[in-house]
Amino acid sequence: MATAPFLVDDDGEWRLDVSLGAGGRARVPLSDRAEALLVDDLGYGNRDVVPWVTTRALVLAGGAAPDDGRTDARDLSWAVTGADGGRRATDEELERVAGYLRRIEFDERSLETARELVRTTRLSAFVSPEELTGRTDRMTGLRDIARDL
């Protein structure tokens, strides 16, 4: 059985330790924003299990990204296994994760998968899939603004 995702202090750098099924485990570095969410806002510490929905949301948003430069967010999110492993996200956590997702410009390749994650989990009580935006959405909006000027 796969071990649930958990937070690790790896020589002063926070990482998510995730099971990749048959691919073993990986320690995925966190962005500053993802670290602030997990450690500062949600109070996670070293070796704390992180709910699957939170882990997958962070991966899809690019907040937990491998430093090999080869694996994209969508592929990594599909590879992460171990599901909830005994820790379920609270409503407060889901609300904060939803706020985090609203502020992210998703890579176009990950956007639909992120919207599907919202649709199929309790995140849908806190954020609508349509509220998630991609980089292309932002560029289109900026072009519209410029055209209106």
Query: Domain extents for the chain?
Result: 6-148
Q: Locate 91 and state its tokens.
A: 């409503």
Residues present in the chain in total: 149
What pLDDT was estimated at residue 111? 95
DSSP state of 4: P
Segment 100-125, tens digit of pLDDT: 999 999 999 899 999 999 999 999 99
Q: What is the Cβ-side half-sphere exposure of residue 138, based on CA atoms within 13 angstroms? A: 12
For the chain, residues with pLDDT lower than 70 are: 1-2, 68-70, 82-86, 137-149
Q: How far apart are CA 50 and CA 59, in angstroms?
A: 12
Q: Is the distance from CB of 80 to CB of 56 less than 8 angstroms?
A: yes
Which residue in 40, 46, 47 sits closest to 100, CA to CA?
A: 40
Q: What is the dihedral of CA 137, 52, 64, 27, to 10 degrees?
A: -160
